[in-house]
């Protein structure tokens, strides 16, 4: 089981696309440009900077 702390919901590349949806903005990820859910995960995870 993958830790929720290392899934899209806390990843720096999980960006808001509109009021409801998020997309992956990591060019190295196979999910790049795709809509993402907070619980989705991949090997390109990078922690979001709390100050962002």
Q: Which two tokens stand for residue 8?
A: 């899209």
Q: What is the DSSP letter of 49?
A: P
Is-contact 10 43, C-beta < 8 A?
no
- The residue among 37, 28, 34 whose CA lies nearest residue 7 is 37
* Mean of per-residue pLDDT scores for the chain: 89
Domain boundaries, the chain: 4-36
In the numeric block, which tokens belong to residue 18?
A: 């509109």
The label of the residue with tokens 């979001």 reads 48
- Residue pLDDT, tens place only, 5-52: 899 999 999 999 998 999 999 999 999 999 999 999 999 999 998 765
Rounded CA-CA distance 12/17 in Å is 14
pLDDT on residue 5:
83
């Amino acid at each position: 089981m993958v830790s929720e702390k290392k899934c899209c919901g806390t990843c720096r590349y999980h960006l808001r696309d509109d009021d409801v949806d998020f997309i992956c903005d990591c060019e190295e990820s196979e999910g790049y440009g795709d809509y993402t859910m907070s619980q989705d995960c991949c090997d390109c995870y990078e922690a979001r900077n709390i100050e962002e």
